[in-house]
Amino acid sequence: MKIRLSIIKLILCSILILCLHNGNSYALTSNSITPSVIIGPNFADLAEDVINSVVNISTTQVVSNNDSSPSIPNDQSIPDFYKDWLEKNKESQKKTFSSLGSGFIIDESGIIVTNAHVIKGADEIEVIFSDGIKLKAELIGKDIKTDIAVLKVNPEKEQSLKALKFGSSEELRVGDWVLAIGNPFGLGGTVTAGIVSAMNRDINAGPYDDFIQTDASINKGNSGGPLFNVNGEVIGINSAIISTSGGSVGIGFAIPSNTAIDIIDQLNEFGETKRGWLGVRIQIVTEEIAESLGLKVNQGALVADVDIPSPASRAGIKAGDVIVSFGGIEIKEMRELPKVVAQTKIGSTVNVSIIRNGKNINKRVRVDRLDEKELEIASLEVDLADESEYIDELGFALSKISASMIEKYNLEANEKGLIVSGINSSSDAYLRGLREGDIIIRIVPKPVLLNVEQFIRIIDIYRQQNKSLMLLHVKRGSNMIKIFPIKIN
């Protein structure tokens, strides 16, 4: 009996051990996940190879405080010693400001690239090399819109400069390793590493924003320094950071090399940039605008106005058109068009694809040179007009532009359209940006408005067609022209 019980216990134990073994085996083979081990690259060889081509930029600006300096009287009765004292006192009123930045060598002859804001207002620019040699630099040219400047130094006879090579920023991918070298807080030759956090960032720094975002540590003084890929090629110029403390919080921005190369070449050759010009004012194609225009997707650049004369006007491009391709390059977002046009060779003729009234149309445009003169957008303040008709369902009043209106609102003699003489601040039109004093030129794509009755007739037709939105072609002040999508209640 005892033997039988022992055998039974032995069998039960064997079954239990087998079950446990099978369970463990399943857990190891079927449910286990072997984590990927990511090992960062060794940047030591790369840093050693390129660090001597990165320089420190020191600038000096002298500011005279003339208001606090007594004038030197031109009077023979004043003793010379007093005049000398006044002259010395005037000199002592001059204040010297200095700043630090970074740069890098792109040509052995002494051509150096940095940021335009690094040398802004500088009376003297000094380049400090890794071996301690200091040389005065001459400004070859700068481009404020892209924040790039090109300098020239004359190397000493025994000095050998090594130029860095540019790589293609278009080949970068989010997650790629990058290396930054610069002069943060005056600590030259500082190397930091990180990854590409994002591409094509727009931080409202300029009209051609297309930054590389990186978490490599970038601080004050890093501006103008290079951002390298793992091959030791410059794929960006460190330019800006976002920070609440003034120091790095892992959000830095670099100008892509593919943007910088063309600007650098132009500055080096001409001392200035020569950009292409189309002559249109554009805005974003929102979902509502796309729906109103009958577009399948909300992409491209909506033409709000066309300069006359301009390449666009000569080609027959009109307000309300949506530019979806320029020179064979697809325009997915509005902000892509200015960059593509700017990089187009002046005098060249390109194909421009537009959508008008739901149809695809191709235009041939000869690109001119952009006039760098900035246009100031004037504000227009008005009172309620006496001759106006309030459209209750839209929440604003309209008036015809008569001779009395031109005088009252100080408008141009040839102004076309209807003026917004009053608007309800809780209306959809107001919430979408329409304001008193705005001139509604037309309802896109209809003709120019001549009177309020014409405006109301178009609204009635839209309601019969079950349209929920209309596009108002609006002028504000002397320069701003925009298209507003307004709900039809």
Q: How far apart are CA 342 and CA 137, in angstroms?
A: 29
Contact 396, 431 (CB under 8 A): no
Cβ contacts of 437 within 8 Å, gap of 6 or more = 380, 381, 382, 409, 419, 420, 476
What three-state secondary structure class fits 424?
coil
The one-letter amino acid code at 47 reads A
Tell the residue number behind the tokens 């007009």, with chain if given. 385
E strands, 34-89, where? 54-64
pLDDT at 242: 84
pLDDT at 33: 56
Q: How far apart are CA 117 and CA 70, in angstroms?
A: 34
Contact 164, 111 (CB under 8 A): no
Residue 260 has φ and ψ, to the nearest 5°, of: -70, -40
Cβ contacts of 122 within 8 Å, gap of 6 or more = 59, 60, 61, 99, 139
Q: b vs e for 389-399, b when ≥16 Cβ sit within 10 Å of the residue's Cβ?
A: bebeebbbbbb
pLDDT at 141: 94
Dihedral angle, C-alpha 17, 18, 19, 24, nearest 10 ° = 90
Token readout for 67 is 């208001």
Which one is catalytic: 197, 217, 223, 292?
223
Q: How far apart are CA 99 and CA 95, in angstroms?
A: 14
Q: Do 169-270 and 276-369 share a fold?
A: no
5: enclosing H helix or E strand: helix 2-29
Select the CATH number that applies to the domain covering 169-270 from these four: 2.40.10.10, 3.10.129.10, 2.40.10.350, 3.40.50.720: 2.40.10.10
Token readout for 389 is 């008709």
Sign of CA dihedral 225, 230, 234, 236: negative
Regarding beta strands 252-256 and 234-241, do their DSSP bridges make them parallel or antiparallel, or are they unpaired?
antiparallel
Residue 32 CA from chain centroid, whole number: 47
Regarding beta strands 359-366 and 389-391, do their DSSP bridges make them parallel or antiparallel, or are they unpaired?
unpaired
Which one is catalytic: 99, 102, 117, 399?
117
Q: What is the largest CA-CA distance in the chain?
A: 141
Q: Which residues of the chain have pLDDT under 70?
A: 1-40, 63-94, 371-388, 402-405, 407-410, 413, 426, 489
Supply the CATH classification number for the domain 389-487: 2.30.42.10
Integer-rounded Cα Rg, in Å, for the chain is 33
Percentages of the chain per state (helix, strand, coil), in multiples of 5: 25, 35, 45
Regarding beta strands 349-356 and 322-326, do their DSSP bridges make them parallel or antiparallel, or are they unpaired?
antiparallel
Select the CATH number that applies to the domain covering 54-152 from these four: 3.90.1150.10, 3.90.700.10, 2.40.10.120, 2.20.25.90: 2.40.10.120
Cα-based distances in Å from 148 to 268, 270, 326, 405: 11, 14, 26, 47
Which one is catalytic: 147, 210, 215, 438?
147
Cβ contacts of 187 within 8 Å, gap of 6 or more = 221
Cβ contacts of 309 within 8 Å, gap of 6 or more = 279
Cα-based distances in Å from 242 to 214, 215, 224, 250, 259: 11, 11, 16, 8, 21
What three-state secondary structure class fits 319?
coil
Alpha helices in 178-280 (DSSP H): 257-270
Domain ranges of the chain: 54-152, 169-270, 276-369, 389-487
Regarding beta strands 418-423 and 396-400, do their DSSP bridges make them parallel or antiparallel, or are they unpaired?
antiparallel
Supply the CATH classification number for the domain 276-369: 2.30.42.10
Residue 14 has φ and ψ, to the nearest 5°, of: -65, -40
pLDDT at 367: 93
Residue 147 annotated as catalytic? yes
Q: How far apart are CA 245 and CA 20, in angstroms?
A: 57
DSSP 345: P
Q: Model-level pTM?
A: 0.65
Dihedral angle, C-alpha 21, 24, 29, 35, nearest 10 ° = -150
Kindly state the percentage of the chain with pLDDT values over 70.
Answer: 79
Regarding beta strands 301-306 and 280-284, do their DSSP bridges make them parallel or antiparallel, or are they unpaired?
antiparallel
Residue 180 has φ and ψ, to the nearest 5°, of: -115, 135
